[in-house]
Amino acid sequence: MKINTAEFVVSNSDASKCPNEPIPEYAFIGRSNVGKSSLINMLTNQKYLAKTSSKPGKTQLINHFKINLNWYLVDLPGYGYAKVSKKTKSTFQKFITDYFDKRRQLVSAFVLIDIRHEAQKIDLEFMQYLGESAVPFAIIFTKADKVGKQKIASLVADYRKKMLADNWEEMPPYFVTSSEHKTGREEVLDYIDEINKDIFQNQNNPI
């Protein structure tokens, strides 16, 4: 898919105030610092569209970016960031779970996982939560430029094993990406394009 336009539309901390147009959206979620905002910049070929930082906790709000005038990419705050106060943390922040629970425009989430680390409890828990909430999702492994090919294969295999042990019937669709090297860009965009085509062609679509 070709990206012709990508523009920031709005930030907020209230899922009910997100744009109300009936168009599909795709949200990036994952631990702080995993590379959610960087991936949005990589996919859209823009350096500074989403704000990134080497320090965790940079993205604090729900950010909507309109792509090609007819769908949204959504950048979310990370989870598992220790500096968020214990009271507001409750594992996953309420406005984030509100977003996933209520957002009918959300057609797929992407759970981002740093390819360098073995499967972590918090990520498996978040996927469990998405499953229970009936939110479709794919996995995006990030920072693939930091590890060798063999290591990538063994880390993906470790994830598959842990998900199956967690009672998933199969591993969801997954992508291996690097925002540094633009790895996986076409694959992620084509995946979104396929879903969009289905939605745009279906006159009865529920969004």
Q: Which residues bind ligand GTP (CB under 6 A)?
A: 32-38, 52-54, 56-59, 77-78, 142-143, 145-146, 178-180
21/57 with CB nearer ligand GTP = 57
Q: Is 195 helix (H, G, I), strand (E, B) or coil?
A: helix
Pair of tokens at residue 83: 């500096």
44/59 with CB nearer Mg ion = 59
DSSP letter string, 13-50: S-GGGS---S--EEEEEEBTTSSHHHHHHHHHT-SSSS
Q: Is 201 exposed, middle or buried (0-12, 13-18, 19+ CB in 10 A)?
A: exposed
CB of 174 to ligand GTP, least distance (A): 15
36/64 with CB nearer ligand GTP = 36
- Compute CA 189 distance to the chain's CA centroid, rounded to the nearest angstrom: 13
179 binds Mg ion, rule: CB under 5 A: no
- Alpha-carbon distance 43 to 96, whole Å? 23
7 binds, among ligand GTP, Mg ion, none (CB under 5 to 8 A by kind): none
For residue 158, what is the enclosing H or E element? helix 149-165
Number of chain positions touching Mg ion (CB under 5 A): 4
CB of 2 to ligand GTP, least distance (A): 22
CB of 33 to Mg ion, least distance (A): 8
- Alpha-carbon distance 48 to 120, whole Å? 30
CB of 183 to Mg ion, least distance (A): 19
201 binds, among ligand GTP, Mg ion, none (CB under 5 to 8 A by kind): none
CB of 59 to ligand GTP, least distance (A): 3
Q: How far apart are the first and last CA of the chain?
A: 22
93 binds Mg ion, rule: CB under 5 A: no
53 binds, among Mg ion, ligand GTP, none (CB under 5 to 8 A by kind): ligand GTP
- Alpha-carbon distance 156 to 99, whole Å? 28
